[in-house]
């Protein structure tokens, strides 16, 4: 992945010396011990080609077909080119119901909640897997980014032995603003101690995210920010204490960056009730809190 001048996250330009590439782990797909080793060492494991690219592209087509209906992408929908506007509020009485129906699309779910994905996570976890029913869809509009956070604070009422899988739904080159990890942050015990046990739905006195100034943080700690060009079929597995956000979406084609993040644990372990069931309550309003495809002139997304 060549470094590209002008890459930003939350408008902070990322200098070459602190930008790095995610480590690849050939052979991880069928090797649970290797995945566990990488998660221990790095806090993440990048598994290239874990999913069938055609299935992933079909999920992309399903999602963007729905965003076409509400005027957020142009034809051909699969390209995901933003119109910069939305008719969602005008056309949908219930935005939560709209997002729920998109996130429960059968083609998308066949990628995230069945087949090779569950096999991969069973290999990692060493037993029958339970995914959270709630799925986070990220149609990230041009010029937007995710704030840097530990997932733990949003989903810590069940087992700690829980993993996030970030799945690009199509090609996500670095200019389209993929996920960005803070290298080595899973071992920053001092920072982790400030967030361990913090539950964003119980304690509203501070934000869930850690920062929207990743370059400042990386410089202070002598760390690098790492990502890669993602391809359809890749997945990135992370622990609950891997600090991450995203690059700004600077797509030259004005495309949405489309990805999902989903969570998996052993079926035998306690589960955080907010994220399971027919219509998970999430942070109180179910899928109503999802705002990922807001046009670029809307307020920045904080999480």
Ligand X SMILES: O=C(O)CCC(=O)C(=O)O
Q: Which residues bind ligand X (CB under 6 A)?
A: 138, 140, 146, 151, 164, 166, 179, 244, 246, 259, 261
* Closer Cβ to ligand X, 42 or 151, answer by number: 151
Closest approach, Cβ 91 to ligand X, in A, equals 26
Going from the C-alpha of 97 to that of each of 91, 94, 245, 263, 291, the distances in angstroms are 12, 5, 26, 21, 13
Give, as one character, the DSSP assignment of residue 195: H
**Beta carbon nearer to ligand X, 138 or 294:** 138
Which residues, in sequence order, are CB contacts of 199 under 8 Å at separation 6+?
153, 156, 157
> Which residue's CB is nearer to ligand X, number 38 or number 138?
138
- Cβ 179 to ligand X, closest distance in Å? 5
Closer of 222 and 283 to ligand X (Cβ)? 283
Nearest residue (CB) to ligand X, 86 versus 246: 246
Residues 67, 148: Cα–Cα separation, whole Å = 26
| Least distance from ligand X to the Cβ atom of residue 74, Å | 22
Min CB(168)–ligand X separation in Å: 9
- CB of 13: closest distance to ligand X in angstroms? 19
- Which residue, 138 or 255, is less far from ligand X as judged by CB? 138
CB nearer ligand X, residue 92 or residue 231: 231
- Check: CB of residue 133 under 8 Å from CB of residue 275: yes
- CA-closest candidate to residue 120, choices 234, 269, 291: 234
Question: 3-class DSSP state for residue 31?
Answer: coil
CB 12 within 8 A of CB 216: yes
**Which is nearest to 166 in space by CA: 99, 263, 40?**
263
CB of 287 to ligand X, least distance (A): 16
- 244 contacts 180 by C-beta, under 8 angstroms: yes
Q: Which residues contact 222 (CB under 8 A, 6 or more apart)?
A: none
Q: Where are the beta strands (DSSP E) in 141-289?
A: 162-168, 179-182, 225-227, 235-238, 244-246, 257-266
CB of 155 to ligand X, least distance (A): 9
Using CA atoms, how far apart are residues 215 and 206, in angstroms rounded to an integer?
Answer: 21
């Amino acid at each position: 992945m060549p470094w590209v001048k002008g890459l930003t996250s939350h408008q902070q330009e990322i200098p070459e010396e602190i930008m790095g590439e995610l480590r690849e782990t050939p052979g991880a797909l069928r090797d649970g011990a290797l995945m566990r080793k990488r998660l221990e060492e790095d806090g993440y494991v990048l598994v290239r080609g874990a999913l069938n690219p055609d299935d992933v592209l079909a999920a992309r087509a399903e999602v963007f077909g729905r965003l076409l209906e509400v005027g957020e992408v142009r034809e051909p929908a699969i390209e995901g080119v933003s119109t910069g506007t939305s008719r969602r509020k005008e056309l949908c009485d219930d935005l939560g119901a709209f997002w729920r129906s998109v996130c429960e699309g059968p083609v998308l779910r066949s990628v995230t909640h069945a087949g090779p994905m569950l096999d991969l996570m069973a290999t990692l976890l060493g037993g029958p897997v339970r995914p959270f029913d709630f799925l986070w869809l990220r149609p990230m509009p041009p010029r937007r980014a995710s704030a840097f956070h530990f997932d733990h604070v949003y989903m810590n009422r069940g087992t700690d032995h829980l993993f996030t899988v970030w799945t690009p739904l199509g090609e996500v080159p670095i200019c389209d603003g993929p996920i960005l990890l803070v290298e080595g942050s899973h071992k920053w015990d001092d920072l982790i101690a400030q967030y361990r046990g913090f539950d964003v739905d119980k304690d509203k006195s501070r934000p869930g995210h850690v920062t929207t100034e990743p370059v400042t943080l990386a410089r202070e700690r002598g760390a690098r920010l790492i990502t890669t060009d993602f391809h359809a079929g890749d997945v990135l597995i992370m622990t609950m204490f891997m600090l991450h956000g995203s690059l700004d979406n600077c797509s030259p084609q004005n495309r949405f960056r489309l990805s999902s993040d989903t969570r998996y644990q052993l079926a035998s372990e306690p589960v955080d009730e907010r994220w399971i069931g027919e219509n998970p309550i999430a942070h109180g309003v179910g899928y109503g809190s999802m705002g990922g495809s807001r046009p670029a002139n809307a307020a920045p997304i904080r999480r």
